[in-house]
Amino acid sequence: MRQADSANEAGLIARILAGEKELFHDLIRPYERMVYLTLISIVKNETEAEDGAQEAVISAYRHLASFRGEAKFSTWLTSIAINEGRKRLRKTKGAAEESIEEQEEEHEGDFTPAPLTDWSEIPLEALERKELREALRVAVTELPDIYRQVFVLRDLQEQNIEETAQALGINPGAVKVRLHRARMMLQKRLVRFLKTTAPARRGFFGGAL
């Protein structure tokens, strides 16, 4: 995620609160992608996610004075987006549905990766292919809620373990466990996809990340 410079950001916030309200457009711009992705990771519907993203941003604008700067602005905004998403989820699924907060890790289940030896020979072009992106989108969407939300915050929005824990209201240990499982489930899903399309050639991502 493109992080705004935090000193600059604090200055912007002070000016907005002092009356230069239009500057809120600039404050939110680096985060509008993040807000949408947070919403879609919860509600899984584009229209609902966009409406929710707008609501979350408006809510952040209205309540900006309550942002005290203890958390990072991005974490504060993510929490608002998560709450908006959960509110919408409850509305669509009805009150009977178990809330996300109460979901726990499954203790049963296979979270081991899929072993194969030819992945390292997947060329860069394969990663450039649209079909692979589509497969990844589908696989992420189909992750169980608690795993998808951690994965999206951590690996898509590149927030750290602490920020992810804070935003979701869970402890850092749970973030690590869920993240690991999410990654392994995706690896397993996508390996199958890649295996059938991999031409034999030496890899590109051998070492550095």
Partner 1 sequence: MKLDCKHVWEHISEYIDGSVDAKLRKDIELHLEHCEICSAILDSTRNILILTADDRTFELPVGYSKRLHERLREEIEKSKHEPPVGETK
∠4-28-49 over CA atoms, to 5°?
125
Nearest distance from residue 195's CB to partner 1, in Å?
Answer: 10
**Span interacting with partner 1, options 69-77, 88-96, 115-123, 163-171, rule CB under 8 A:** 115-123
Q: Which position among 116, 138, 169, 173 is part of the footprint of partner 1 (CB under 8 A)?
A: 116
**Span interacting with partner 1, options 81-89, 93-101, 151-159, 163-171, rule CB under 8 A:** 151-159
Nearest distance from residue 93's CB to partner 1, in Å?
Answer: 23
The shares of helix, strand and coil residues in the chain, as percent rounded to the nearest 5, are 70, 0, 30
State which residue, 154 or 167, has the beta carbon closest to partner 1: 154
In DSSP notation, 14-60 reads: HHHHTT-GGGHHHHHGGGHHHHHHHHHHHH--HHHHHHHHHHHHHHH
Q: Are 61 and 20 in contact (CB under 8 A)?
A: no
Q: Which position among 12, 37, 42, 168 is part of the footprint of partner 1 (CB under 8 A)?
A: 37
Residue 41: name the closest of 122, 127, 159 by CA.
159
For residue 24, which amino acid is it?
Answer: F
Nearest distance from residue 5's CB to partner 1, in Å?
Answer: 20
Q: Cα separation of 159 and 154, whole Å?
A: 5
Site residues for partner 1 per CB under 8 A: 16-19, 21-22, 24-25, 28, 32-33, 36-37, 46, 50, 53-54, 57-58, 61-66, 112-120, 122, 127, 132-133, 136-137, 140, 151, 155-156, 158, 161, 176, 179-180, 183-184, 186-187, 190-191, 194, 203, 205-206, 209
